[in-house]
Amino acid sequence: MNYRQVEVFAMIMKAGTASHAAELLNISQPAVSRSLAEFEAEIGFPLFDRVRNRLVPTPEAKLFYRDVETSFRGMDTLRASAAWIRDRGAGEIRLACRSALSSSIVPKAISGFHAAYPDVKVTLHVLWSRDVRDRVASGQCDVGLAADEIDVAGIHHQKFLSHRALCAIPLGHSLCDHQVIGPQELEGQSLINYVPEDRLRKQIDHVFAQAGVTPNNIVETIYASTVCALVSSGVGVGFVTTHAVAGVDESRFVLRPFEPAVSMRSLLIMPSDRQKSQHLRAFINCLLAAR
Dihedral over Cα of 207, 209, 211, 213: its sign: positive
What is the pLDDT, as a whole number, of residue 190?
97
> Which segments of the chain belong to CATH 1.10.10.10?
3-88
**From the CB of residue 261, how many other CB atoms can be counted at a distance below 10 Å?**
10
| CATH superfamily, with its number, for domain 92-161+266-289 | Periplasmic binding protein-like II (3.40.190.10)
Non-local CB neighbours of 155 within 8 Å, separated by 6+ positions:
133, 136, 137, 269, 270, 271, 272
The model scores a pTM over 0.85:
no
pLDDT for the residue numbered 81: 67
Instruction: Name the more confident of 122 and 1.
Output: 122
CA angle 160–164–166, rounded 5-degree value: 140
- The more confident residue out of 224 and 113 is 113
**89 has pLDDT over 70:** no
Q: Report whether pLDDT(114) > 80.
A: yes
| 222 neighbors 198 (Cβ within 8 angstroms) | yes
Write out pLDDT tens, residues 179-188.
999 999 999 9
In the chain, CATH 3.40.190.10 sits at 92-161+266-289, 162-262
Q: Give me the helices (H) in the chain, please.
A: 3-15, 18-25, 29-43, 59-88, 105-116, 129-137, 199-211, 224-232, 242-245, 278-289
Please check the confidence at residue 291 and state whether its pLDDT lies above 70: yes
Identify the pLDDT of residue 278. Answer: 85
Provide the CATH number for the domain formed by 162-262 in this structure: 3.40.190.10
Query: What's the farthest any 2 CA atoms get from each other in the chain?
Result: 108
14-73 tens-digit pLDDT: 888 899 999 999 999 999 999 999 999 999 999 999 887 788 999 999 999 998 988 888
Q: What's the whole-number mean pLDDT along residues 193-204?
A: 91
How far is Cα 208 from Cα 196, in angstroms, rounded to an integer? 14
Least confident of 72-86, 114-128, 174-188: 72-86
Span of 66-75, 101-110, 220-229 with lowest mean pLDDT: 66-75
**Count of CB atoms situated within 10 Å of the CB of 128:** 18
Name the class of domain 3-88.
mainly alpha
**Does pLDDT of 163 surpass 90?**
no
Q: Contact 232/106 with Cβ under 8 angstroms?
A: no
